[in-house]
Amino acid sequence: MNAISTVLFDAGGTLVQPNFRRIADELERDGVAVDLGILERAELAVRRDYDRHDYQRKPGDGWLNYCNAFASAAGLASMPLTAVERLREYQNTHCVWEAVMEGVVPVLERLRSRFRLGVVSNASGSVRAAFERIGLAGFFEVIVDSGVEGVEKPDPRIFRLALERMGERAERAAYVGDIYHVDVVGARAAGLRPVLLDLHGIHAEKPCERVRSLSELEALFHAGAT
């Protein structure tokens, strides 16, 4: 196995999570009160559903479909359309996925002393601005956002875009993400070494390398070096 010199990351669910406080506030403006813990569990449920091998994306308005799935998982009949539109505007201009996950910054600080780092994300085009605002952008040489590029994971082309911009070879790069059928399948197709971040221990059966936290990456890549 080749030594790893570059690590690319997914964004949402790997480095950042939704700002559940903002989502709750927008719902409350329309008279819907939801506990933050319920919202967090609902978001995890939606991601699990998205990761099913037989998942079929509904046609039409992707943001509305996501919000309705999120609301259903939270036990709501639907999300008020006014809240959907306010959150859509925020997503497109700032990015709802703006809460840095616990432990991410110290891990990135250690990793950048040994590896070149980048981001490849399926998003709305606002990841770079969001990462600059929340203090993560400086860790990464490239931030590749599907909303900007017009191609999204698991299409291997989006991973290759990041590698080309870094002047890096696929066999020297790893990709870390939390959704098997998007992150692992896509990275593997592009020739990268895929690693599945399994924070909740729900992917034991997946045929790939897994870590339970980002802090395990240093040891994993050191063990895989030749």
Q: For the chain, which residues make up each domain, given as ranges? A: 6-16+98-223, 20-95
Rounded to whole angstroms, the Cα distance separating 154 from 107 reads 25
Q: What CATH architecture applies to the domain 6-16+98-223?
A: 3-Layer(aba) Sandwich (3.40)
Q: What does the mean pLDDT of the chain come to?
A: 92
Percentage of residues in the chain with pLDDT exceeding 70?
A: 95
Q: State yes or no: pLDDT of 223 exceeds 70.
A: no
Local confidence band at 54 (pLDDT 50, 70, 90 cut-offs): low
Query: Tens digit of pLDDT for each residue in 166-195?
Result: 999 999 999 999 999 999 999 999 999 999
Residues constituting the chain: 226
pLDDT at residue 226 in the model: 42
pLDDT band at 1 (very low <50, low <70, confident <90, very high): low
pLDDT digits 0-9 by tens, 123-142: 989 999 999 999 999 999 99
**CB 25 within 8 Å of CB 78:** no
Put residue 55 in one of left, alpha, beta given phi > 0 → left and psi -120 to 50 → alpha: beta
Q: pLDDT tens digits, residue range 92-116?
A: 889 999 999 999 999 999 999 999 9
Kindly state the tokens that stand for 29.
Answer: 């403006």
